[in-house]
Amino acid sequence: MKLAMKFVLAFFTLLLSAPLWAQNPAQNTAPSAKLALTPPMGWNSWNKFGCNVSEDMIKGMADAMVKSGMKDAGYQYVVIDDCWQVSRDKDANIVADPQRFPSGIKALADYVHSLGLKFGIYSDAGSKTCAGRPGGLGHEYQDALKYASWGVDYLKYDWCNTTTQDARASYANMRNALDSAGRPIVLSLCEWGTAKPWLWGKEVGGNLWRTTGDIQDRWSGKKEWNPGNCCSYGVVDIIDAEDAIYSYAGPGHWNDPDMLEVGNGGMTTTEYRSHFSFWALLAAPLIAGNDLRDMNPEIHDILTNKEVIAIDQDPLGQQGRRVWKDGDVEVWAKALAGGGRAVILFNRGETDRQITAKWTDLDYPESMAASVRDLWAKKDLGKSTGKFSASVAGHGVVMVRVGP
Ligand code: GLA
């Protein structure tokens, strides 16, 4: 082939393989450009139900999202995780389990949409999903077209069975496939933090990226996860992993410390309140993982606390971070639009402790008189100058909004 011809071919190959919007990021016209400007909120089947998914259960969960007031509190996406898919047909179209989803995925998406909610689904960048169902490798554009035709609004894309695949290239490919299908679809990168997706997730059009191995319904302790593979995480282990990467989160692109375990039974109410408070301070996606059809009042009140949710959804889009630590007691803070701060006084220990947040640690002058509101007691505590102190139960938090 003549050299000039080779150059022309190389140029067009490059043009076609680059994300359309990457050619001029300032004029990003991709359908997905303005998605997830605040952290996505919704529900996902995995933490509670694993592979035990069906259209009846998902419909029931969508109904419960509305009836319980979760929709009013901001929850939106109803996401089926692994195991909805069984095979590919003769034309390689992905096939949903006909026993568990007899009406098909499009009918289910239509039902979810009819309630004013959005619909999400799960696949995997490798040859098979983590539960061994057909993966997306080699079928990215075909699957994206299928998802768009079903009315999918959110895709969680996992990382099992990817052998030597490059994570960044694989997720860029799926984002391009989704954008080419013409429907705005939130892309959730479920790569567990192995290839540091916070460094490149935004550039490839990921809206959220997992930062650790799977959360499990316990307060603390990493455990072996899939034989020989480290680790599943407790809530405290995940909190500790998020501090160093706070600066990578922002509107449209979030660190994802994994889905909520609130209400699944393995922790105390105090611990679940701490779990939820931290996810809000970390500007994390709030994806409930419990049975919404069967919530006790304490769990309901945690998941629907609108003032805590407002911290998560604050339009400035800053992730909070640790600003002070002394042994088992810590202060975490998140800057809010309008100059306020969300503050968590955190007690990792077993017994009550007095904890103080100093204004200088919040980047406020010591002399400033600031209003303090307790977001769990839902009570104004008046003005404080220089600092705020409170007694905090073991494994508990006091979460306040501080403002000039
Ligand atoms: C991985 C993911 C989980 C879940 C399962 C499904 O472990 O990290 O969140 O999606 O796969 O098999």
Q: What is the DSSP letter of 318?
A: P
**Rounded-to-integer distance, Cα 324 and Cα 330, Å:** 6
Tokens 């009013």 map to which residue?
A: 72
Give exposure, 384-393, as e/b (b: 16+ Cβ within 10 Å). beeebebebb
DSSP E strand boundaries for 45-190: 77-79, 85-88, 94-96, 118-124, 154-158, 186-190
Average pLDDT on 276-297 reads 98
Tell whether the model's pLDDT for residue 267 goes beyond 70: yes
**Rounded-to-integer distance, Cα 349 and Cα 394, Å:** 5
Phi, psi for 97 (deg, rounded to 5): -55, 115
Compute the distance from residue 158 Cα to the ligand 1 centre, in Å: 7
Average pLDDT on 244-263 reads 98
Q: What's residue 112's pLDDT? A: 99
Spatial CB neighbours of 142, under 8 Å, sequence gap ≥ 6: 92, 93
One-character DSSP codes across 335-365: E-GGG-EEEEEEE-SSS-EEEEEEGGGGT--
Q: What's residue 188's pLDDT? A: 98
Q: What's residue 11's pLDDT? A: 46
Active-site amino acid positions: 158, 214
Helices (H), 250-304: 269-281, 297-303
Confidence tier at 313 by pLDDT (50, 70, 90): very high
Question: Is residue 256 lining ligand 1, measured as CB closer than 6 Å?
Answer: no
**Rounded-to-integer distance, Cα 97 and Cα 87, Å:** 8
Tell whether the model's pLDDT for residue 98 goes beyond 60: yes
Average pLDDT on 159-172 reads 97
Q: What's residue 21's pLDDT? A: 44
Higher pLDDT, 128 or 13: 128
Closest atom of ligand 1 to CA, residue 226:
7
Q: Which residue type occupies 380?
A: D
The protein residue with its alpha carbon nearest to ligand 1, atom 5, reads: 130
Both tokens of 75, joined, read 């929850």
Average pLDDT on 300-308 reads 98
The protein residue with its alpha carbon nearest to ligand 1, atom 11, reads: 130
Q: What's residue 17's pLDDT? A: 45
Q: What's residue 10's pLDDT? A: 47
pTM value surpassing 0.75: yes
Compute the distance from residue 364 Cα to the ligand 1 centre, in Å: 41
Q: What's residue 81's pLDDT? A: 98
Average pLDDT on 148-174 reads 98
Tell whether the model's pLDDT for residue 14 goes beyond 90: no
Burial of 99 (0-12, 13-18, 19+ CB in 10 A): exposed
Angle of helix 269-281 relative to helix 235-242, nearest 10 degrees?
20
Q: What's residue 2's pLDDT? A: 52
Do 36 and 252 form a contact (C-beta atoms < 8 A)?
yes
Nearest to 264 by CA among 308, 237, 303: 303
Compute the distance from residue 378 Cα to the ligand 1 centre, in Å: 36
Do 395 and 330 form a contact (C-beta atoms < 8 A)?
no
Confidence tier at 5 by pLDDT (50, 70, 90): low
State the average pLDDT for the chain. Answer: 94
Q: What's residue 13's pLDDT? A: 44
Q: What's residue 29's pLDDT? A: 84
Confidence tier at 224 by pLDDT (50, 70, 90): confident
Question: Is residue 46 lining ligand 1, measured as CB closer than 6 Å?
Answer: yes
Structural domains of the chain, ranges and CATH numbers in brackets: 32-312 (3.20.20.70), 321-403 (2.60.40.1180)
Tokens 């996505």 map to which residue?
A: 40
